[in-house]
Amino acid sequence: VRLATSPGWDSSGKVTVVDSLQPLANLPGLKHLELFGVQPASRSLQELESAPELVSLRASKYPAEEPRRFYMATGVTDAFAPSPGVADWS
């Protein structure tokens, strides 16, 4: 799953604030997640620690220590998600 803000927002530092990441953690079979400019008000990834099958997470616009804390707590990597094999995917 990839959730991202508009590319034009990246340089301005804008983010989309969501109520919770828990619905993502509850997705059955979620293995790879990319959160680019999408975060809860807490700016924490802790809710994703309950995602049982999560293998990789890429996240931007979080405090630098938060992804590191998450990777250490879960063993999830910061590897890119594999290509889904869909034409014109970028």
> 27: domain range?
2-74
| pLDDT tens, position by position, 27-85 | 999 999 999 999 999 999 999 999 999 999 999 999 999 999 999 999 999 998 888 77
Structure token pair of residue 56: 């990789």
Rounded to whole angstroms, how far apart are CA atoms 26 and 66?
Answer: 21
Global confidence as pTM: 0.86
Which has more pLDDT, 64 or 86? 64
Three-class SS of residue 43? coil
Is there a domain that residue 70 lies in?
A: yes
Is there a domain that residue 84 lies in?
A: no
Is there a domain that residue 89 lies in?
A: no
Is there a domain that residue 86 lies in?
A: no
By the 8 A CB rule, do 14 and 48 touch?
no
**Pick from 36, 42, 34: nearest CA to 76:** 34
**So what's the pLDDT on residue 10?**
63
Is there a domain that residue 82 lies in?
A: no
- Split into its structural domains, the chain has a count of 1
